[in-house]
Structure 1
Amino acid sequence: MMEIPKEQVCVLIPTLNEEPTIGPLIQKFHNAGYYDILVIDGNSTDNTRDKAYQAGAKVIIQKGKGKGAAFIQAIEQISKPYVILIDGDNTYDPADADALVLPLLSGYDQTLGNRLIPSNHVSFNRLNLTGNRILNWLFKISHGRYLYDILTGYRAFTLASLQRMRLYEEGFGIETEISSESVRNDDKVAIVPVSYGVRIGSDTKLDPIHDGIKIGRTIYRLAKLNNPMFYFGLIGLIFLLAGGGIGIYIVYEWLLKIDHIPLTILSVTLIIVGIQIVMFGIQADIQLANQREFLHEIQKLRKEK
């Protein structure tokens, strides 16, 4: 088994009111041999920061709000070549950290800790488990890559892969944006099963319905960077279906000797606009393919040097 240079790994923990769990979580990482712990706190109103500091972590206070804003801010504070990202609620097991780091030593850019394995199903209610599966398949359809668990809060990265990412999401959409950026950058992503337990001692910040809809919108919005044909094609399809539906109604009424000149104009306009949007998606898809080929050639030249 390859020896892991744990002194070159930074463990990043975004927190918000995690007083009951942050201390034991840090201690578990210390027991596993990881001592560079960075806690970025979103202005907790409990004793999270004190508990983290007493447990031996470096603590910084977040400037903005949201998990995404914390992650983006923290990247600038990290100099170690490998980074582990983990939630502060103690639902993930630090004993899995070695399994997450190992692929990075073998040339992978990112490791994703997959929670959605059968042994962890007892830790999810039916709504959350179904919602996660739906969002994973939506991501596959819209981004062209199945990553098993795009919303996991347990990941490992090379610092170089993090610095390539263009991240803007301030809230829980950050996991989706990280997954999208890994596809856009054509990163090598390893999938590793991890343990996932029931959240104890603090309330969840996620609303399954509200946040699920927001994440779904984020997946679709980010698709224009990775799969413009899907993004613009869906919009074009809506216009085409609307124009076609009105057209069928017009034809039916025409057979009854009833004319609808304004609706005819609207139907033709919607169909033309739909076709134009679809054509724009095709052109954008071709340009994206050319751009990726160009980037691959640049990467080859860099490796040859």
Structure 2
Amino acid sequence: MPFVTENDNTDVELTVVMPCLNEAETLEVCIQKARGYLEGSDVVGEIVIADNGSTDGSQEIARRNGARVVPVPMRGYGAALIGGINAARGTYVIMGDADDSYNFAGLAPFVAKLREGHDLVMGNRFAGGIDPGAMPPLHKYLGNPVLSGIGRLFFRPGVRDFHCGLRGFNRERIQALGLQTSGMEFASEMVVKASLAKYDIVEVPTTLAKDGRSRPPHLRSWHDGWRHLRFLLMFAPRWLFLYPGIVALVVGFGLAAVLSVTPIVVGGVGFDVSTLVYASALGVIGYQALLFWWLTKMYATREGFLPTSSTYRTVAEGWTLERGVIIGVVLFVLGLVIGVVHVVGWGSTGFGPLDARAAIRAATPSAMLMIIGFQTIMMSFFGAILTIPVRTRPAEVPAA
């Protein structure tokens, strides 16, 4: 089948996109491998080089080998790929780095899965084989397994190599996700948003060879690893706020409820009012985490970052500013009443010396209830602000 060049108007089934920033050493061999696959297959395809401002002649190398060069002014791995994907003409896109670490001659399994109707086809380097020295030990034994494990736990995409750079997808389906990240976390964003959108994701084995460049890679291990982890956490408010908050709330308030009445001894270790104070603090922290989860969910679903469930919609429709304020006021007043009763009892003794343990057992629940009551009131107002209906702003009229 023909390999489609820049000026050819033939309909394209597959676009191979390679991000490029000064890849003169390896770009030609990558293009030749991809071109060899296209020319020897039944796929009508093109090769797009998303150039991120190369100064080493990469653009000329790409054009000389029949690839189409798409300039992408915004720097970054994700920015380059978004530019290349948007410029692609193919129904399907396969992306991969231009450092000769991925086998562009072996794209058949990706194309086969895409033709079957899958939305996203991920490569799995651990299943296909990693050449000696191709992946630093830090990435192979810590970075990739940990981040991929977190990604599987949070989003259940059904893939084991969360960060493989060689992947294929239906172009329109991926564009519909509105991918935005400009850096290395783009790899995570694609899988996360596809998972949240319930896309059909599959995995095929692929190989990873040693980087063919003489210079260090653009990847910065700790910096980019943190950016990947941060992105995963930001799109998983249940794991960031909800689940830790529930644990802290149950443990903290449960323990505080018991210690407010009596000290306890476990395994010969006594727990009394000091533990009561710390347990109350833990409960308040847990409650605050739950409020953060709710506000995050409200904002993210409103802006389309996260999907909504029927359960969430039911609860959100039933929650109003007024109901939240009433609940907050009730909690605050209950804490205040406990405090007033304690002060009245103290007054009945002539405001003399207090028993420290008894005082803390009364004051701590009182303070705890007033804190969470006040937090509930403030959260209700903030949530109401987040959900104020707004009209789309009209376009500004330019000055005459």
The TM tier, using the shorter chain, reads 0.7 to 0.9
CA distance, structure 1, for counterparts of residue 271 and residue 172 of structure 2:
67
* Aligned match for 2:285, one of 247, 262, 270: 270
8 Å contact from structure 2 (residues 121, 201) kept in 1: yes
Aligned partner of 2:234 in structure 1 is 221
- Structure 1 unmatched runs, 5+: 294-305
The answer on 1:26 being equivalent to 2:46 is no
Provide the C-alpha distance between the structure 2 equivalents of 1:82 and 1:56, rounded to a whole number of angstroms.
19
1:33 partner SS = helix
Unaligned runs of 5+ in 2: 1-9, 40-44, 265-269, 302-306, 314-400
Shift of 1:292: 11
The CA deviation at 1:270 is 3.0
Please name the residue that 2:245 is paired with.
236
Shift of 1:231: 3.3
CA contact (8 A) 2:49 2:69 kept: yes
Please list, as runs of the form range in 1=range in 2, the aligned pairs for 1:43-192 lying within 5 A after superposition.
Answer: 43-117=53-127, 119-120=129-130, 122=132, 123-130=134-141, 131-192=143-204
Identify if the C-alpha distance between structure 1 residues 239 and 50 changes in structure 2 by more than 3 Å, giving closer, same or farther.
Answer: farther
Quick check: which one's helix share is greater? 1
What is the deviation of 1:92?
Answer: 0.5
Question: For 1:172 and 1:282, how far apart are their aligned partners in 2?
Answer: 25
User: Which residue is equivalent to 2:20?
Assistant: 15
Q: Please name the residue that 2:309 is paired with.
A: 289
CA contact (8 A) 2:23 2:99 kept: yes
Aligned with 1:157: secondary structure? strand
1:297 maps to none
1:199 maps to which residue? Answer: 211
Cα 1:181–1:257 change in 2 (3 A) is closer
Q: How many Å separate the matches in 2 of 1:256 and 1:138?
A: 36
Q: Is the 8 A contact 1:177 1:222 kept in 2?
A: no
Amino acid at match of 1:93: N
CA distance in 2, matches of 1:29, 1:179: 24
- SS of aligned partner of 1:99: helix
Structure with more contact order per residue of length (Cα contacts < 8 Å, sep ≥ 6): 1
Separation (CA, whole Å) in 2 of partners of 1:101 and 1:118: 17
- What's the CA shift for 1:125? 2.7
Gap change, CA 1:208 and 1:263, over 3 Å in 2? closer
1:206, distance to aligned residue in structure 2 (A): 1.2
* Alpha-carbon distance in 2 for matches of 1:187, 1:58: 29
The change in CA–CA distance for 1:249 and 1:87 in structure 2 (over 3 A counts) is: farther
Give the share of equivalent positions with the same residue, in percent.
23
Q: Following TM superposition, by how much is the alpha carbon of 1:259 offset from its aligned partner in structure 2, in angstroms?
A: 7.3
- Supply the distance in 2 between the matched residues of 1:259 and 1:8 (Cα, whole angstroms): 69
TM-score normalized by the length of structure 2: 0.61
Q: Which residue of structure 1 lines up, in the alignment, with residue 349 of structure 2? A: none
- How far the C-alpha of 1:147 sits from its partner, in A, is 1.3
Q: 1:69 Cα shift? A: 1.0
Relative distance call for 1:57 and 1:234 in structure 2 (3 A) is same
> Once structures 1 and 2 are overlaid, which stretch shifts more, 178-187 or 119-128?
119-128
Instruction: Specify whether residues 55 and 278 from structure 1 end up closer, same or farther in structure 2 by C-alpha distance, changes over 3 A only.
Output: closer
Counterpart Cα distance in 1 of 2:245 and 2:113:
41
- Please tell me whether Structure 1 or Structure 2 has the larger radius of gyration of its CA atoms: 2
CA distance in structure 2 between the aligned counterparts of 1:274 and 1:88, rounded to whole angstroms: 43
Check whether the contact 1:232–1:280 (CA below 8 A) recurs between aligned residues. no
TM-score by length of 1: 0.79
Deviation (angstroms), 1:194: 0.7
Contact 2:27–2:61 (8 Å) recurs in 1:
yes
Q: Which amino acid aligns with 2:91?
A: P
Deviation at 1:6, TM superposition (A): 9.9
Amino acid paired to 2:309: A
C-alpha deviation, 1:280, in angstroms: 7.4
Distance in 1 (CA, whole Å) between partners of 2:128 and 2:111 is 23
Report the AA paired with residue 285 of structure 2: L
1:98, distance to aligned residue in structure 2 (A): 1.2
Aligned residues: 283
Deviations 1:243-280 (A, max 9, x none): 5799699979xx79877998787555335434555777
Aligned CA RMSD, in angstroms, stands at: 3.6
